[in-house]
Amino acid sequence: MPVIGTEIDELNEALAGLDVRERLALIGEHWGRLAVASTSAGAQSAVMLHLLSEHLPDLPVIFVDTGYHFPETYRYLSELQERFPVNLQVYTPKTTAAQQEALHGKLWEQGEEGLEKYGLINKVEPMNRALADNGASVWLSGVRREHSQSRANRPFVERQKDTLKVYPILDWTGDDVANYMEIYSLPQHPLVASGYVSIGDWHSSSPLGEGMRPEDTRFNGIKRECGLHEASGGADFQI
């Protein structure tokens, strides 16, 4: 169902006044089969996967496998999938990591322009393909305002090109996440113990060091977002 203008405002107001279980119930009732979710299998992904398995177990959950994830990430996702049987779908770029490096070099070493191209090839295009394959116009994500300055003013519902982005745990704090993980005995990503607070591809993630902000641990501090959660990252991208 198309959602425009004042209806987005009304949905934001409604979601803000609900707890996460009520939010997921409203999302399921409002959009049903038009929605998918995504997971990065990152530092706190267990929370969203557990919530989805409990409240929207049939919802497709997209994992974009760039081919550059840490070995620990692949093992962590396998553990989470075994514990929380969600409808996981894995999407990969149209070109392999070896092909990309042969054609373009190591894009993540080519400044902001290289990182933009890397994100489009490895993350945006596969996610857009997943949305199209599932006939989805609504995308649930575990983005939280506390993650970074670039997310601090996000609404619960926003338009990203032809896709409606919805963030069920947007207002959760780090303490909320930690408490939820403790209550339900959720496993942490193994790299959290090594100081990682944001975990993506191995070449663009680093532990949090002294004097660093969390956003400095991604892409050598050049940028925070990989492309999926930027205005240019919604459906419609072609490559």
Detail the DSSP E strand segments found in 87-180.
87-91, 138-140, 157-160, 163-166
Between the alpha carbon of residue 237 and those of residues 110, 128, 131, 154, 207, the distances in Å are 22, 7, 11, 22, 31
Which of 57, 51, 123, 120 shows the shortest CA–CA distance to 87? 57
Q: What would you measure as the largest C-alpha separation in the chain, in angstroms?
A: 51
Residue 159 CB-density burial (10 A; 0-12 exposed, 13-18 middle, 19+ buried): middle
Question: What is the DSSP code (8-state) at residue 188?
Answer: P
Cα-atom radius of gyration of the chain, to the nearest Å?
Answer: 17
226 counts as catalytic: yes
- The backbone torsions φ and ψ at residue 180, rounded to the nearest 5 degrees and listed phi first, read -65, -45
The residue annotated as part of the active site, out of 47, 86, 226, 228, is 226
* Distance from chain centroid for Cα 129: 15
What are the φ and ψ backbone dihedral angles of 226, each rounded to 5 degrees?
A: -85, -10
**In what order do the strands lie in the sheet containing 87-91?**
87-91, 60-64, 35-38, 138-140, 163-166, 157-160
Q: List, by residue number, the catalytic residues.
A: 226
